[in-house]
Amino acid sequence: AQKITQTQPGMFVQEKEAVTLDCTYDTSDPSYGLFWYKQPSSGEMIFLIYQGSYDQQNATEGRYSLNFQKARKSANLVISASQLGDSAMYFCAMREGWKTSYDKVIFGPGTSLSVIP
C-alpha cells in the first residue's frame, strides 16, 4: 500500500504567487520524520525542509514552509513568492523506524511544478 500520497501529479503557478503541494502519509510509528526534496530537470535531489513528528512548530526554511497536520497525517509544502527556478519535481518523503535498525526513507510519487512567467 502506498505510504506517501501526492495527489497532484502536475501543478502550475504564476510567478510570485504562493503554491501548496499536498502530501499525506501513513505510518503506525510514533516517531518519524517528514522531508521535502526538489529535483530540477538537471536531475539532482535537493533537500528542502524537514519536520519531525514531535515538533510542535511547523518547519520553515526561507520561502519554504511545511504545513504539518499530524492528526490528518498531512505535510503540505508551501512555496511563497514562486520563482521560475522553482519549476521542478517535488517529492515528499518519510523516515520510518528512526533510530532503529530498520529505518528507511520512502518517497511519494512526486508533483511536477511549473512556474509560469
Partner 1 sequence: DTAVSQTPKYLVTQMGNDKSIKCEQNLGHDTMYWYKQDSKKFLKIMFSYNNKELIINETVPNRFSPKSPDKAHLNLHINSLELGDSAVYFCASSLKRVSNTGELFFGEGSRLTVL
Q: Is 99 in the site for partner 1 (CB under 8 A)?
A: yes
CB 76 within 8 A of CB 23: yes
How many chain residues bind partner 1 (CB under 8 A)? 25
Query: Length of the chain in residues, anyone?
Result: 117
Whole-number Cα distances in Å, 66 to 13, 78, 85, 99: 18, 6, 19, 23
Nearer to partner 1, 25 or 37 (CB): 37
Helix boundaries (H) for 43-99: none
Q: Is 109 in the site for partner 1 (CB under 8 A)?
A: yes
In the region spanning residues 3 to 42, those forming contacts with partner 1, defined by CB under 8 A, are 33, 35, 37, 39
Nearer to partner 1, 4 or 13 (CB): 4
Nearest in space to 53 (alpha carbons), one of 115, 114, 11, 103: 103
Contact residues toward partner 1 (CB under 8 A) are 33, 35, 37, 39, 43-45, 47, 50, 52, 89, 91, 93, 95, 98-99, 101-107, 109-110
